[in-house]
Amino acid sequence: MSNVVPILKTQGITMRFGGITAVNNLSIEVNPGEIVALIGPNGAGKTTAFNMITGVYTPTEGRIIYCGKDITGMKPDQITKNGIARTFQNIRLFKKLSVLENILIARHLRLKSDFLSATLRLPQYRMEEKQMREKVDVLINEFGLSKYQHEVASSLPYGVQRRLEIARALATEPSLLLLDEPAAGMNPKETEELTHFIRDIKERYNLTVFLIEHHMELVMEISERIYVLDFGETIAKGTANEIQNNPKVIEAYLGVEEDA
């Protein structure tokens, strides 16, 4: 175990907003090829942790290491270029653009032609655009989005929007995929399907997956390891079994229910 180099490692990252500490001293490790989950009650700081990893926020303290490289303080676009892609808890598609455009945009980061060759449609750009479209076509088919490809994103059914967001993230060619509550708003059957789907794309695209989720069936079924946050503190980590029987975790979740 210890001789595996983790693909992602955070060293005591902390995020403070004015007075509140959203995440405190979080240290996690995700190894290549794993599916790891981050769980915790509402407001525990899970999304904040994702935002730090993807560069949306710069941690107040601590370091983030990706593939042995310190990415703390890098801009989100650089981090994506390095191979971390994500989805958002409150779906952030390009609402007025078509499904096709949404995914094409995610391939822009690999474009080599400059704007002038692109505008003047010089041969190199034409070739790149052609390859871009081919790759996107493959994704669209694999994700069952072909019948929607010319529709605007906001007009899609909710479940399809979630799928599109994952497809879009994959179009950036990541090694590490972060999913923020991918099953939010889904019924048990859809959640079940999503569970298989995540496993499936993980294998097919050779990914490492780090996900936040409230649906425990999903979490327990697919995660190899789980981290639990509560009020920004890491209260537990371990396998599904260990977590399910951890009294601190049970207390944290029950405590929240009492409040609500």
Partner 1 sequence: MKKQDKILTIILIAGLFVFILSADLFFDSYIKRVLNLCAIYTILALSMNLINGFTGLFSLGHAGFMAIGAYVVGIFTVPVEMRSMVFYLKPMHPLIANIELPFFAALILGGLLAALVAFLIGAPVLRLRDDYLAIATLGFSEIIRIIITNAQSITNGSLGIKNIPPTANIWWIFGTAFVTIVFIILLISSSYGRAFKAIREDEIAAEAMGINLFNHKVLSFIIGAFFAGIGGGLYGALLGTVDPKNFLFVLTYNFLLIIVLGGMGSVSGTIISAFIVTAGQEWLRFLDEPLSIGSFDIPLFRPGFRMVVFSILLMLIVLFYRNGLMGTKELNWDMLKRIGSKFSFKRPKGGEAK
Partner 2 sequence: MSSTTLQHLANGVSLGSLYALVAIGYTMVYGILRMINFAHGDIFMMAAYFAFFGIATFRVPWPFAFIGVILATALLGMLVERSAYRPLRDAPKNSILISAIGVSFLLENLANYLFSGKPKAFPEITFFANTVVIGGVSIQVITFFIPAVTMIILAILLYIINRTKLGMAMRAVSKDYETAMVMGIDINKVIAATFAIGSGLAAMGAIMWGIKYPQVQPMMGVMPGLKCFIAAVIGGIGNIKGAVIGGFILGLGEILLVAKLSSLTGYRDAFAFILLILILIFRPTGILGEKTTEKV
Ligand X SMILES: Nc1ncnc2c1ncn2[C@@H]1O[C@H](COP(=O)(O)OP(=O)(O)OP(=O)(O)O)[C@@H](O)[C@H]1O
Cα–Cα dist 17/39, whole Å: 21
Looking at the Cβ atoms of 8 and 145, the one nearer to ligand X is: 8
- Give all strands (DSSP E) within 44-175, no chain letters: 61-66, 69-70, 84-86
Among 29, 45, 136, 194, binds ligand X (CB under 6 A): 45
From the list partner 2, Mg ion, ligand X, none, pick the one residue 56 interacts with, judged by a Cβ distance below 5 to 8 Å according to partner type.
partner 2
Q: Does 42 bind ligand X (CB under 6 A)?
A: yes
Question: Apex CA 243: angle with CA 227 and CA 39, to 5°?
Answer: 35
By the rule CB under 8 A, 1 interacts with partner 1:
no
Segment near partner 1 (CB under 8 A); pick from 78-86, 203-211, 223-231, 237-245: 78-86
- One of 48, 72, 102, 161 touching ligand X (CB under 6 A): 48
Binds partner 1 by CB under 8 A, chosen from 65, 111, 235, 256:
111
Residue 57 near partner 2 by CB under 8 A:
yes
- By the 10 Å C-beta count (0-12 exposed, 13-18 middle, 19+ buried), 54 is classed as buried
Q: Which residues pair with 3 in a beta bridge?
A: none
Q: Which strands sit side by side in the sheet containing 61-66, from one edge to the other?
A: 20-30, 8-17, 61-66, 69-70
With CB under 8 A as the contact rule, the residue among 71, 87, 88, 174 that binds partner 2 is: 88
Which DSSP category does 25 fall into?
A: E
Q: Residue from 31, 56, 98, 111 that binds partner 2 (CB under 8 A)?
A: 56
Q: Which residues bind ligand X (CB under 6 A)?
A: 17, 20, 22, 40, 42-48, 89
